[in-house]
């Protein structure tokens, strides 16, 4: 037995490879981190630990080996763990560049041998000269490692004296630390495992020849032959990789995260080759991967974010007021009782007949706002939603009907699409309680889907029928932004609706201008203005004068255009309103010159695959239905700055990760992982925040993505 491991475990376990300098305890301190069962040195260990090791390899200068070698061997024998120690013959310390290179050669040679007959070694970086630790870490990057570990000390002067006495004891570091030293040492997992570099894998034969046999433990003659061979292979590989990156950049219509080009060529080729959205069986797995990636959301309407269960959850915020109203409004109580009876009996037709139907033959949810005169909003809508508290699936069926059946699916147009949100938005968000509850749900959605930057668009004055003012709505939005700051940077856009009262457009512009002039916190969070609604109701050119105050203040503009109308609306949005981004832009390909101008001026498109499909109807290759091709693949090939967004996730029964997958399903052959990452980068690049904030979010996203890819977190 070796510690707590069997002989088989010992022979299969990675080795612990450490450098040694003036302090021998760094070896047992590191071993206690990897093998806490064999050496319970620490009272508290980090939750994430390196793998358990077998044999210990140590490299040192001759002086350190002479000073500490005998003590280390006695310690290892007491624990029953194998230990081998090497040092450079005749080199008491590192005094010159040639000494440093000779030591690097020995470290590289031993690191190479340590992983030849078992998993790559765990590397302990706590001991030896800084150059030795640095060379050990570089050797791990070249030849691979199972973990990089370090031990930090937090010892004060009193504890240092105690430690000095403790180190001299025969049983030192063979059991728990003395109580006086508990917590004074901090083991740290610097990095999880990493595979050997591609250059090493490709040149394994030549490296075997250059490394020669493993030298016996003890004094080793100084040499640099192996180090020279490794550096030569690395130089050749770097030249080939540089040429590959240049070729890759030349082939691409638009760039990706810069750090991705520094990844090994095999990793890049895997990202370019592997695709999502081509196999229904893999959908959940692929969406789970998409969930892990940091993302930006640029086109999300507050009035459409809630699923049916979430609408009921938001309505619960007014449950007390609803119960009070039911007690003094007999008509409300009678209607609520009828709803409950029909729900219990599954009589959805009776519920729809009670609601009445709108001009399109759909349930008229807007009638709820007028059904109980003098009842403060949004209590009527809340009462209706709360009737379905234990039957959300029934309400889901009433709202969406057969639209959710992929076999019977058909495009429903913009008016019927917008009607899907009549139970939320301005119907529900008429009180501080429901607004706060909805913003809490938004925060949860963003956190679950790893949305690190979110531009939320809304019309604050549309939420004032229940007694709130426009400024009060803004205050709630700003408070939500501050609450989300730990995981999501929330920014605000206001919406002007084409199909609404033109005076309301002017009022929203005035509301934004007033807050910008007097409120610094609003000025930081407010990033733009949007023109939305049915495009046929009012052309962008008609609103040029209305939007002039925003252009004079240099406010970013995003315009819904080309969603279900011709490219003319996109042209007007760009040339009449000077749009910085376009919402949807599905018909841009009808004008090749305009498309080229969008590419050259980097005007971004906010595509929303599910709502685009609901409203217009496109070919879904994963479901095998539809004929009209989605323009995403063409836009990517042309180098346009395309972004993926949700629009109204509750109304489309989706979320941002699912939208990336839907984009792949609407694209023939799916999307490669490389294209997905490019789309994610586009989202951050097209953000309306300041240049400094945009750069910050880009770099953070890039760092997380590259770390995931290099630490074994592969795409689905």
Q: CA quadruple 580, 581, 585, 591: dihedral positive or negative?
A: positive
- Alpha-carbon distance 498 to 537, whole Å? 6
* β-strands 83-88, 56-60 pairing: parallel
Q: What are the backbone angles phi and psi of residue 80, rounded to the nearest 5°?
A: 75, 30
**150: helix, coil or strand?**
strand
Cβ–Cβ under 8 Å, residues 113 and 14: no
Distance CA 456, CA 625 (A): 32
Provide the b/e sequence for 123-142 (b: ≥16 CB within 10 Å): bbbbbbbebbbbbbbbbbeb
d(Cα 244, Cα 262) in Å, to the nearest integer? 10
**What is the residue-wise DSSP string for 68-115?**
HHHHHHHHHHHHT--EEEEEETT-SS--SHHHHHHHHHHHHHHHHHHT
Q: Which of 142, 127, 145 has its CA nearest to residue 60?
A: 127
Q: Which of 50, 402, 47, 3 is nearest to 174 (CA)?
A: 3
3-state secondary structure of 152: strand
**Residue 321: which residues within 8 A CB-CB, separation 6 or more?**
376, 379, 382
Cβ atoms of residues 11 and 54 within 8 Å: yes
Contact at 8 Å (CB) between 577 and 529? no
Task: List strand residue ranges (DSSP E) for 241-383, in order.
Answer: 275-276, 295-301
Tokens in use for 489?
């940077």
**Dist. CA 321–CA 333, nearest whole Å:** 13
Rounded Cα distance between 362 and 376, Å, is 25
Reading the block at residue 657, the tokens are 């990760």
CA atoms within 13 A on the CB side of 680: 31
Q: How many residues does the chain have?
A: 716
d(Cα 387, Cα 363) in Å, to the nearest integer? 16
Please, what sign has the CA dihedral across residues 86, 62, 65, 125? negative
Q: What is the DSSP string of 204-231?
A: HHHHHHHH-SPPPSEEE----HHHHHHH
Q: How many CB atoms lie within 10 A of CB 90?
A: 9
Q: What is the dihedral of CA 45, 49, 54, 57, to 10 degrees?
A: -90
The catalytically annotated residue of 563, 572, 638, 702 is 563
Burial of 608 (C-beta count, 10 Å sphere; 0-12/13-18/19+): buried
Active-site residue, 638 included: no
CB-CB contact of 41 with 172 (8 Å): no
CA–CA dist 32, 56 (Å, integer)? 12
As a whole number of angstroms, the distance between CA 386 and CA 318 comes to 9
- Residue 445 exposure: Cα atoms within 13 Å on the Cβ side: 28
CA atoms within 13 A on the CB side of 1: 7
Catalytic site positions: 563
């Amino acid at each position: 037995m070796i510690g707590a491991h069997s002989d088989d475990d010992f022979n299969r376990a990675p080795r612990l490879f450490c450098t040694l300098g003036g302090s021998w305890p760094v070896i047992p301190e590191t071993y206690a981190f990897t093998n806490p069962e064999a050496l319970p040195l620490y009272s508290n260990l980090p939750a994430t630990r390196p793998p358990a090791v077998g044999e210990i390899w140590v490299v040192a200068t001759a002086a350190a080996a002479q000073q500490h070698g005998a003590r280390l061997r006695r310690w290892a024998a007491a624990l029953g763990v194998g230990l081998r120690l090497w040092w450079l013959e005749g080199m008491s310390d590192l005094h010159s560049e040639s000494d440093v290179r000779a030591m690097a050669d020995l470290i590289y040679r031993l690191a190479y041998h340590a992983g030849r007959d078992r998993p790559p070694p765990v590397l302990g970086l706590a001991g030896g000269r800084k150059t030795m630790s640095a060379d050990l870490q570089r050797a791990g990057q070249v030849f691979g490692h199972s973990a990089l570990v370090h031990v930090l000390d937090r010892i004060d002067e009193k504890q240092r004296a105690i430690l000095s006495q403790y180190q001299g004891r025969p049983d030192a570091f063979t059991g728990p630390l003395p109580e006086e030293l508990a917590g004074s040492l901090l083991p740290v997992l610097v990095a999880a495992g990493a595979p050997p570099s591609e250059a090493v894998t490709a040149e394994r034969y030549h490296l075997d020849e250059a490394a020669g046999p493993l030298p016996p433990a003890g004094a080793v003659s100084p040499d640099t032959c192996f180090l020279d061979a490794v550096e030569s292979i690395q130089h050749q590989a770097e030249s080939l990789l540089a040429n590959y990156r240049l070729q890759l950049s030349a082939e691409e219509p638009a760039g990706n995260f810069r750090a991705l080009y520094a990844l090994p060529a095999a990793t890049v080729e895997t990202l370019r080759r592997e695709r999502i959205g081509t196999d229904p069986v893999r959908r959940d797995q692929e969406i789970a991967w998409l969930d892990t990636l940091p993302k930006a959301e640029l086109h999300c309407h507050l009035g459409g974010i809630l699923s049916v269960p979430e609408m009921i959850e938001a309505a619960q915020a007014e449950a007390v007021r609803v119960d009070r109203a039911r007690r003094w409004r007999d008509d409300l109580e009678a209607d609520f009782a009828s709803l409950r009876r029909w729900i219990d009996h599954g009589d959805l037709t009776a519920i729809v007949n009670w609601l009445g139907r709108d001009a399109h033959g759909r349930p008229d949810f807007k009638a709820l706002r007028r059904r109980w005169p003098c009842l403060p909003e949004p209590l009527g809508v809340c009462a209706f939603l709360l009737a379905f508290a234990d039957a959300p699936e029934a309400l889901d069926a009433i709202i969406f009907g057969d639209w959710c059946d992929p076999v019977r699916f058909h495009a429903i147009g913009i008016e019927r699409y917008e009607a899907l949100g009549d139970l939320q938005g301005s119907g529900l968000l008429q009180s501080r309680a429901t607004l706060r509850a909805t913003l809490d749900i938004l925060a949860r959605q963003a956190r679950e889907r790893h949305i690190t930057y979110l531009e939320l668009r809304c019309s604050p004055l549309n939420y004032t029928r229940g007694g709130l003012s426009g400024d009060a709505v803004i205050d709630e939005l700003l408070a939500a932004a501050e609450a989300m700051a730990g995981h999501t940077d929330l920014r605000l856009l206001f919406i002007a609706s084409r199909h609404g009262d033109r005076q309301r457009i002017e009022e929203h512009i005035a509301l934004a201008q007033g807050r910008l002039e007097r409120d610094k916190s609003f000025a930081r969070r407010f990033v733009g203005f949007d023109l939305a609604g049915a495009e046929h109701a009012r052309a962008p050119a008609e609103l040029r004068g209305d939007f002039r105050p925003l252009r004079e203040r240099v406010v970013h503009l995003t315009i819904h255009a080309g969603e279900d109308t011709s490219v003319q609306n996109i042209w007007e949005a760009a040339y009449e309103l000077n749009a910085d981004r376009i919402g949807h832009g599905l018909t841009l390909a009808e004008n090749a010159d305009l498309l080229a101008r969008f590419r050259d001026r980097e005007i971004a498109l906010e595509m929303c695959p599910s709502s685009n499909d609901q409203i217009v109807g496109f070919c879904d290759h994963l479901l095998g239905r539809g004929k009209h091709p989605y323009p995403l693949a063409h836009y990517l090939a042309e180098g346009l700055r395309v972004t993926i967004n949700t629009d109204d996730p509750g109304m489309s029964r989706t979320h941002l990760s699912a939208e990336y997958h839907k984009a792949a399903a609407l694209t023939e052959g799916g999307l490669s992982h490389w294209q997905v990452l490019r789309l994610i980068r586009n989202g951050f690049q097209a953000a309306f925040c300041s240049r400094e904030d945009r750069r910050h979010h880009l770099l953070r996203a890039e760092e997380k993505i590259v770390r995931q890819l290099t630490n074994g977190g592969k795409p689905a």
